Structure 1
Amino acid sequence: MRTFTVRRSLLKKTLAGLGCAAALLFSPLSLQVAQAAEPEKDELKLGFIKLTDMAPLAIAYEKGYFEDEGLYVTLEAQANWKVLLDRVITGELDGAHMLAGQPLGATIGFGTQAEVVTAFSMDLNGNGITLSNAVWEEMKKHVPMENGKPLHPIKADALKPVIEQYKAQGKPFNLGMVFPVSTHNYELRYWLAAGGINPGYYAPAKGDIAGTINADALLSVTPPPQMPATMEAGTINGYSVGEPWNQQAVFKGIGVPVITDYEIWKNNPEKVFGVSKAWAEANPETHKRLVKALIRAAMWLDADGNANRAEAVKILSRPEYVGADAKVIANSMTGTFEYEKGDTREVPDFNVFFRYHATYPYYSDAIWYLTQMRRWGQIGEAKPDSWYLDVAKQVYLPEIYRSAAAELVEEGLAKSEDFPDAGEEGFRAPTNEFIDGLTYDGRKPNEYINQFKIGLKADSVL
């Protein structure tokens, strides 16, 4: 924190000691551009979990993008996703790197009830599903092979006979995921169900929030950094998590990442930058400036065909950020992904931070999460299509993103073509790039829910 303190003090003293004209010559770039308002709050504490997709926060700090916006930020790692969310709600954190489902889950009252919003999507993809060596050896017998290597994507159909063996022996098949409203939970459930494996249902109205009703595989929460050790101890048979904790299993020789979320749903939204609604309303200028800094960081991370990723890996490997070995982080973040040890494949879009309009808060991204909450019973009753859009609009704030992007274009720091068209209504085009080939159209959530063979239908109740 010493570097942070020195830089902040020096900047404030310099601006205070200079006249207005001189200050414009020496101040950060954004202060050279006439702005309508000063930030309501300039000293901020932002939270994150030790995962590679917190990178926009680290880069915005290390490259001085926060300071360019007149913001003096402290970044603080949090113990787990619940603590992080609670601290944003209470105001101990001004904002945080969040699971995309957290603001939505809080707003509809699944778990913690609170109004949490986002104006910035932090990334696409970045997760994987890892199984223990013992499970993989049995599963591999059922996986199609090509040139002596598993044919990808590996479907959960090959896991089904392994789970049936466990059942026959009277043993539970346990899998870890990071949080009930996490992408990891929904991706793991999606993959299992596409292979004919029921991951279980929630019934909050009946007091059942374990999510294991009628389950073939039992899913439970494990904090991301603890995943490898928990699997190595035999408590879980596998897990769904973000990097670097899948690659850590490969390096430790304790498990095999069998599939990435890019293969489950190509270019799926992953994390968001979340703040409380009250904070957003009290600090609109500060919020916009945070989004500006984060957009610049995302652009840097994806610039020139990921040319900056090697530098990003070094930064993230530091203990104050992810704190994992740089080789482990690089194994996925620099355009490759190692599955079975020695089986490294090109996956250039495993981590996407800006391409494909990754940072824009699309309503359709929010609605997909809500469809999965309904599919697995976290939303316990039927809802009309209009409800899904109404909730998305409560939580996702594209107008703040657009304002931030417009200022970056005006300042010459971005180009208008970097961002969605002005007439964009908040919906990505319908896509069938899922492992089961089903089509998702965010404008028709109930129709989408009704396509699934495993899962609640739009109007069913447990």
Structure 2
Amino acid sequence: MLNVSRTLVRTLALATALFSGVAAAAELGYPEKEELTFGFIKLTDMAPIAIAYEKGYFEDEGLYVTIEAQANWKVLLDGVIDGRLDGAHMLAGQPIAANIGYGTSAEIITPFSMDLNGNGITVSNDVWAKMKVNIPKQANGKPVHPIKADALKPVIEQFQDEGKPFKMGMVFPVSTHNYELRYWLAAGGIHPGYYAPHKGDTSGQLDAQALLSVTPPPQMPATLEAGTIYGYCVGEPWNQQAVFKNIGVPVVTDYEIWKNNPEKVFGITKAFAKKYPNTTIRLTRALIRAAMWLDENNNANRPEAVKILAQSNYVGADYDVIANSMTGTFEYEKGDKREVPDFNVFFRYNATYPYYSDAVWYLTQMRRWGQISEDKDDSWFEQVAKSVYRPDIYQAAAESLIKEKLATPEMFPDFDSEDGYRDPQTHFIDGIVYDGHQPNAYLQKFAIGLKAGQVL
């Protein structure tokens, strides 16, 4: 058997999987492309890819996957566009921005939303000491959460009085982190700046009181420690790393900014999905199964997941750093560890379903901060969302899992009635309600940000 060729071994494995009744239903068809390379950034929310690989869910589908860490989000996106990567763990804003031609222009789609929540905003110890005096205290002396940017505003004003720019890091111009950080700052009366691509200005710092710039996630703690930035918004484990290294304090999580917000997606090109439809459904099946495993039995598998993610070929941070958030807790100031069971959500609350309304929210923030320069009517927002988010592919994958009794209907949205829009969402830090059907009316509600008729 040791002399059997690699190709023959794979053919036998695929045949065994397909006809055993354990893996994908035969009527889906064989995968048109079996050998795949997926990219990711070293963050804990890449977990569905790692688990689908480690637990054999990809191989169950006849897919033989290589997983490669990427240097930054641009390199990752370029890899998917040029075909070096078949798919990748992406910022939710990346496929949307590519489809409207902001930055890079390409037709990228997503059949799978990778997670909810998972980010935080961290400030330096010095900034925290100045903020802390503005924050109400509990009876035990610990700060009342959520901490709003109102507490940071006097600190920024002090910096301005001293002629010092207040610099903060985020991971990419179309990242959730950029929009969450901007949302939090603006809700506290701090202007995070505008983009003006029609004028050739993509700095995002026009009229800014806090200057935001890009720093790759794994470099955030070191950049903060060097004093280059005074705070940042990033995914885990890089907020908890600041606590462990005693160089900064996470002040708010994105769960507190927008409860159960969509975070990353799995992105592929539209051309890939068209050329390899069976492969696309099968990789979506594998990712759904991985997400189910991550959340099942009230997160009972998370410690095992943390061991996997701690490996250097995945996230490569210490077990304790990753476990601090992945296992349902989050540490703010050193020693102030609180229960946050939904800090990382991979499957429950329909986390994996690609809702059009999630895409629309990102588009509203692109318009709010000037990345979309001109007015767009509500139908445009819907059209773009439907060109990028593909619940039809997700539904095909989910229904096949149900048919094989690998999942139950109750685990998914009611596909017969689902229209792709979440009910109006109320759990934002500023109390503003978001209805994905009315993006322009939503934009009118903000004190800071571009509105209908406004162009820089």
> Which of the five TM-score ranges fits, normalised by the shorter chain?
over 0.9
Residue number in structure 1 paired with 2:178: 185
Q: 1:39 and 2:31 equivalent?
A: yes
Equivalences for residues 296-375 of structure 1 within 5 A: 296-375=289-368
Q: 1:454 aligns with which of 444, 448, 451?
A: 448
Q: CA–CA distance in 2 between the matches of 1:121 and 1:284?
A: 18
Q: Which amino acid aligns with 1:52?
A: T
- Residue deviations 1:17-46 (CA, integer Å, cap 9, x gap): 69xxx9558966555732242111000000
User: Once the 2 structures are TM-superposed, how far is the Cα of residue 161 of structure 1 from its aligned partner?
Assistant: 0.2
**Contact residue 204 and residue 380 of structure 1 kept, 8 A:** yes
Residue number in structure 2 paired with 1:258: 251
Q: 1:286 aligns with which of 274, 279, 282?
A: 279
Q: Which amino acid aligns with 1:227?
A: M
User: In structure 2, do the counterparts of structure 1 residues 328 and 182 end up closer, same or farther at CA, with 3 Å as the change threshold?
Assistant: same
- Residue deviations 1:110-152 (CA, integer Å, cap 9, x gap): 1011111000000000000000000000010101111201000
**Contact residue 29 and residue 68 of structure 1 kept, 8 A:** no
Q: 2:41 aligns with which of 41, 49, 52?
A: 49
Equivalences for residues 58-69 of structure 1 within 5 A: 58-69=50-61
User: In structure 2, do the counterparts of structure 1 residues 453 and 323 end up closer, same or farther at CA, with 3 Å as the change threshold?
Assistant: same
Q: 1:13 aligns with which of 1, 8, 16?
A: 8
User: Once the 2 structures are TM-superposed, how far is the Cα of residue 258 of structure 1 from its aligned partner?
Assistant: 0.1
Q: 2:136 aligns with which of 137, 141, 144?
A: 144
User: In structure 2, do the counterparts of structure 1 residues 410 and 129 end up closer, same or farther at CA, with 3 Å as the change threshold?
Assistant: same
Q: Which amino acid aligns with 2:189?
A: G
Q: Which amino acid aligns with 1:63?
A: K
User: In structure 2, do the counterparts of structure 1 residues 15 and 382 end up closer, same or farther at CA, with 3 Å as the change threshold?
Assistant: closer
Q: CA–CA distance in 2 between the matches of 1:272 and 1:451?
A: 28
- Residue deviations 1:362-388 (CA, integer Å, cap 9, x gap): 000000000000000000000000000
Q: 1:437 and 2:431 equivalent?
A: yes
Q: 1:270 and 2:270 equivalent?
A: no
Equivalences for residues 26-175 of structure 1 within 5 A: 29-30=21-22, 33-147=25-139, 148-175=141-168
**Contact residue 24 and residue 400 of structure 2 kept, 8 A:** no
**Contact residue 24 and residue 32 of structure 1 kept, 8 A:** no
**Contact residue 144 and residue 150 of structure 1 kept, 8 A:** yes
User: In structure 2, do the counterparts of structure 1 residues 17 and 212 end up closer, same or farther at CA, with 3 Å as the change threshold?
Assistant: closer
**Contact residue 28 and residue 67 of structure 1 kept, 8 A:** no
User: Once the 2 structures are TM-superposed, how far is the Cα of residue 277 of structure 1 from its aligned partner?
Assistant: 1.1
Give the TM-score, by structure 1 length. 0.95
Give the TM-score, by structure 2 length. 0.97
Q: Which amino acid aligns with 2:200?
A: G
User: Once the 2 structures are TM-superposed, how far is the Cα of residue 10 of structure 1 from its aligned partner?
Assistant: 8.3
Residue number in structure 2 paired with 1:414: 407
Q: Which amino acid aligns with 1:62?
A: E
Q: Which amino acid aligns with 1:128?
A: G
Q: CA–CA distance in 2 between the matches of 1:271 and 1:32?
A: 25
What SS does the corresponding residue of 1:357 show, helix, strand or coil?
coil
Residue number in structure 2 paired with 1:3: none
User: In structure 2, do the counterparts of structure 1 residues 56 and 28 end up closer, same or farther at CA, with 3 Å as the change threshold?
Assistant: farther
- Residue deviations 1:280-318 (CA, integer Å, cap 9, x gap): 111111011000000000000000000000000000000
User: Once the 2 structures are TM-superposed, how far is the Cα of residue 66 of structure 1 from its aligned partner?
Assistant: 0.1
Higher mean Cα deviation, 22-31 or 263-272?
Answer: 22-31
C-alpha RMSD of matched pairs (Å): 1.7
Q: Which amino acid aligns with 1:385?
A: D
What SS does the corresponding residue of 1:356 show, helix, strand or coil?
coil
User: Once the 2 structures are TM-superposed, how far is the Cα of residue 459 of structure 1 from its aligned partner?
Assistant: 2.3
User: In structure 2, do the counterparts of structure 1 residues 320 and 67 end up closer, same or farther at CA, with 3 Å as the change threshold?
Assistant: same
Q: CA–CA distance in 2 between the matches of 1:362 and 1:344?
A: 32
Runs (4 or more) in structure 1 with deviation over 2 Å come to 9-18, 22-36
**Contact residue 41 and residue 89 of structure 2 kept, 8 A:** yes
**Contact residue 48 and residue 75 of structure 1 kept, 8 A:** yes
**Contact residue 167 and residue 212 of structure 2 kept, 8 A:** yes
User: In structure 2, do the counterparts of structure 1 residues 311 and 206 end up closer, same or farther at CA, with 3 Å as the change threshold?
Assistant: same
**Contact residue 203 and residue 378 of structure 1 kept, 8 A:** yes
Aligned length: 453
**Contact residue 135 and residue 151 of structure 2 kept, 8 A:** yes
> What percent identity do the matched residue pairs reach?
70
Q: CA–CA distance in 2 between the matches of 1:203 and 1:26?
A: 53
Q: Which amino acid aligns with 1:130?
A: T
Query: What 5-or-longer segments of structure 1 have no aligned partner?
Result: 1-5
Q: Which amino acid aligns with 1:400?
A: I
User: Once the 2 structures are TM-superposed, how far is the Cα of residue 279 of structure 1 from its aligned partner?
Assistant: 1.2
Residue number in structure 2 paired with 1:426: 420
Q: 2:187 aligns with which of 194, 199, 204?
A: 194
Q: CA–CA distance in 1 between the matches of 2:148 and 2:60?
A: 46
User: In structure 2, do the counterparts of structure 1 residues 23 and 205 end up closer, same or farther at CA, with 3 Å as the change threshold?
Assistant: closer
Query: What 5-or-longer segments of structure 2 have no aligned partner?
Result: none
Q: Which amino acid aligns with 1:90?
A: D
